Amino acid sequence: MISHFTQLHKKHGVSVIGEIKRGLPPPNLPSFDNINQLIVPALTIAAVSLSISISMAKMFSRKHGYKVSANQVRKKKSLETKSIC
């Protein structure tokens, strides 16, 4: 918008992208060609996320004086994952 009103492309030779399409593209399924390469990193991220959640829950339980077990955190994580899918 600024380049249009200040005429930057005419006065200073600044290139302009042009019109930007409105709206969102139609939804489509992604390609599953690289799924084998993504499984190991995805499982690693899930394991790290779970361990961080367990350690944070234990830290807050010690700070505020209540008990928490790893099973509670795992159940919470599984419910979060279930709500995403």
Query: 46-57: per-residue pLDDT in tens?
Result: 889 888 888 888
Position 45 scores a pLDDT of: 93
Per-residue confidence band for 67, with pLDDT thresholds at 50, 70 and 90:
confident
Beta carbons of 79 and 53 less than 8 angstroms apart: no
Residue 82: is its pLDDT beyond 70? no
The pTM score is 0.51
What DSSP letter does each residue of the chain carry, written as one string?
A: -HHHHHTHHHHS------PPPPS-PPP-PPP-TTHHHHHHHHHHHHHHHHHHHHHHHHHHHHHHT----HHHHHHHHHHHHHHH-
Position 81 scores a pLDDT of: 66
Domain extent listing, the chain:
34-85
